Amino acid sequence: FWGATVINNLMSAVPYIGQMFVEWIWGGFTINNSMLNRFFSLHSILHLIIMLLVTLHFFSPHLSGSSNPFGTNSNIYKIAFHPYFTIKDMLGFMTIILIYLMIILQMPYYLSDPDNFKIDNSMSTPIHIKLEWSFLFAYLIL
């Protein structure tokens, strides 16, 4: 539960709203089964929400035209290739998802680290976690 403890501590360090956020979303500072269920549910749903927003962002120039600083009408420059590009992009996306699902469903632990199955002491960093200088700000918060 070391990772959940780290994320919990990072969230509680946000000024003004951190403590309220941790108590409201996670249910408190202690790491227990209900907190982990909330965390994993939010973790899964957040990816889907971001993917939906990215998809809407990609399709918006094709549907409404892009903006320009001169304020002229950009509809005259629109080309009616939207369905073709959309099908091409969706085919590539579905191919990548199919390959990913084949790996995940046939070999679920192939991409994981065996050290992740150990229950560690939440008060110390696990041995397999290597500190990196790019996360120095997060280590200072902790």
pLDDT of amino acid 74: 67
User: Which of the following is catalytic: 113, 130, 132, 134?
Assistant: 132
Determine the length of the chain.
142
Instruction: Decide if 23 is catalytic.
Output: no
Instruction: Decide if 89 is catalytic.
Output: yes
Q: Per-residue pLDDT for 94 more than 90?
A: yes
pLDDT of amino acid 91: 93
What is the DSSP secondary structure assignment for residue 115, as one 8-state letter? Answer: G
Instruction: Decide if 66 is catalytic.
Output: yes
- pLDDT confidence tier of residue 95, bands split at 50, 70 and 90: very high
User: Which of the following is catalytic: 89, 112, 115, 128?
Assistant: 89
Structure-model confidence comparison of residues 114 and 7, the more confident one: 7
User: Which of the following is catalytic: 66, 82, 118, 128?
Assistant: 66
Burial class (CB in 10 A: 0-12, 13-18, 19+), 101: exposed
pLDDT tens, 20-61? Answer: 888 887 777 777 787 788 888 888 898 889 989 988 887 777
Q: Which residue has the tokens 């962002």?
A: 57
Q: Per-residue pLDDT for 134 more than 70?
A: no
Q: Which of 18, 40, 33, 5 is nearest to 125 (CA)?
A: 5
Average pLDDT over residues 112-122: 70
Contact 79, 62 (CB under 8 A): no
Instruction: Decide if 132 is catalytic.
Output: yes
Q: Across the chain, what does the average pLDDT equal?
A: 78
- pLDDT confidence tier of residue 102, bands split at 50, 70 and 90: very high
User: Which of the following is catalytic: 43, 47, 88, 128?
Assistant: 88
Q: What is the CA radius of gyration of the chain?
A: 22
Average pLDDT over residues 82-109: 88
